[in-house]
Amino acid sequence: MPLPITLTGPRIELRPLALTDPAALVAAAADGALWNSPYTVVPSASTVDDYIREALEGQAQGTVQPFVTVLRASGEVIGATRFWKIDRRHRKLEIGSTWPAAHVPLGSGSDTIVKPARKIIPPRPFNWPVSAPSGPPA
């Protein structure tokens, strides 16, 4: 079974979500109390275990590939995103459930995470496997 894929760019890395990520995700979400967001699901200390479990269940079913967003310079987890609604038959997927820590701009300027993230997402994601987790990455 192939390992989940890490997507790396000059400033950020999209690393597969792991069972070892609860504290880092809660710390990122605490920057702005993002769990109160009406726009996407963001984990709090009381919901992070379910957030990770549900994402990894979707990964095991082949319908979701969850990532944590990491600043390469510091190694800080600054949020999460995922490929979801993965449809292998029609070779389509959506990108969503994206949220950054409040101190990280999301918009379209040069200091944001959206442009760097888009640049590292492969133009043909079905040329590589989306696989079930094999445990926490080494």
The pLDDT value recorded for residue 2 is 44
Burial of 47 (0-12, 13-18, 19+ CB in 10 A): middle
**DSSP 8-state symbol, 102:** T
Question: What average pLDDT does this structure show over 15-38?
Answer: 90
| Stretch among 68-82, 94-108, 113-127 having the lowest mean pLDDT | 113-127
Residue from 43, 47, 27 nearest 104 by CA:
27
Tokens read off for 18: 């792991």
Q: Please, what are the domains in the chain?
A: 7-121 (3.40.630.30)
Greatest mean pLDDT among 49-63, 92-106, 124-138: 49-63
* Stretch (H or E) spanning 53: helix 48-61
| pLDDT single digits (tens) 92-119 | 888 888 888 888 866 555 455 555 555 5
Question: What average pLDDT does this structure show over 37-64?
Answer: 91
More confident residue, 105 or 20: 20
CA separation, residue 2 to residues 31, 49, 74, 131 (Å)? 34, 25, 28, 6
Tokens read off for 102: 């409040």
pTM above 0.85, yes or no: no
- 42, pLDDT greater than 50: yes
Distance (Å, whole) CA 137 – CA 3: 9
